[in-house]
Amino acid sequence: MAKKRTYAHVARFYDLLDLPFEYGRYRTIRPVLFEGAGGTVLDAGVGTGRNMPFYPEGGEVTGIDISPQMLARAQKRKERLGVSAELRLMDVTATGFPGGHFDYVIATFLFCVLDDEDQLPALRELLRICKPDGEIRLLEYTYSSDPQKRLVMRLWAPWVRLVYGAAFDRHTERYVEAAGLELAEERFLYQDIIKMLVLRPR
Ligand SMILES: C[S@@+](CC[C@H](N)C(=O)[O-])C[C@H]1O[C@@H](n2cnc3c(N)ncnc32)[C@H](O)[C@@H]1O
């Protein structure tokens, strides 16, 4: 509920606040998450629909989000871009999709928002709705190992928590094994700050 409230407030400013990061960092790395993806694809925590330009052509894409206000923005973007996708109000920890439904499950900057106690339930739910030969790809923040960059991130952290309910140190990879998943790949896509986790059912 806390995240729903947070995003009810930030939704109308979200794209504006994120603009420098979107064009300075995210724009070039988002397509990597969708490389080779097709079939049934889930964009979990779709937000305002920033991944939409990179959705696979011919893919059957569903975007879910816990925030009606963020989904409303995603709907507008979908219409503007003429993207084919279904948008649904759902919690990633209990989606209601049938088991083994998706070929690809993609979540960009969702797990840095999920509280520690929601990390494992969310991964378990993604595993449940992913096909046995499917793939889960996450894009996440992490603290830099460079002391100067780390300090800057520490100074930013209270703002990021207040405005987005997010943190740079969720360590989602720690929950992967307990969720019944295998960490197939872990790759930094922007400095040593933003990384992609590729997970597969074990
Ligand atoms: C930081 S935004 C990222 C949005 C988008 N994926 C992007 O890359 O720009 C996180 C999104 O996750 C959504 N979210 C938070 N908790 C959620 C949950 N339990 N289930 C589904 N979506 C959730 C928020 O409402 C928000 O839209």
pLDDT for residue 1: 77
Asked whether residue 119 carries a pLDDT value surpassing 90, the answer given is yes
Query: Using CA atoms, how far apart are residues 112 and 45, in angstroms rounded to an integer?
Result: 11
- Which residue range(s) make up the domain with 185? 2-201
Considering the chain, what is the average pLDDT of its residues? 97
Distance 66 CA to ligand 1 centre (A): 7
Which ligand 1 atom lies nearest to the CA of residue 18? Answer: 9
CATH of the domain at 86: 3.40.50.150
Instruction: Decide whether any atom of ligand 1 lies within 6 Å of the 47 Cβ.
Output: yes
Give the pLDDT mean for 4-13.
96
Instruction: Specify the DSSP element, H or E, that contains 189.
Output: strand 181-190
Cβ atoms of 171 and 17 within 8 Å: the answer is no
What pLDDT, in 10s, does the model give residues 34-45?
999 999 999 999
Asked whether residue 123 carries a pLDDT value surpassing 90, the answer given is yes
Query: Using CA atoms, how far apart are residues 139 and 141, in angstroms rounded to an integer?
Result: 7
Instruction: Decide whether any atom of ligand 1 lies within 6 Å of the 108 Cβ.
Output: yes
CA angle 123, 125, 131 (to 5 degrees): 100
According to DSSP, residue 23 is labeled: I
Give the total number of structural domains in the chain: 1
Residue nearest to ligand 1 atom 5, measured at CA: 47
Give the pLDDT mean for 23-51.
97
Instruction: Decide whether any atom of ligand 1 lies within 6 Å of the 170 Cβ.
Output: no
CB-side neighbour CA atoms (13 Å) of 43: 30
Residue type, 64: I
77 by Cβ neighbours in 10 Å (0-12 / 13-18 / 19+) ranks as: buried
What pLDDT, in 10s, does the model give residues 129-187?
999 999 999 999 999 999 999 999 999 999 999 999 999 999 999 999 999 999 999 99
pTM: 0.97
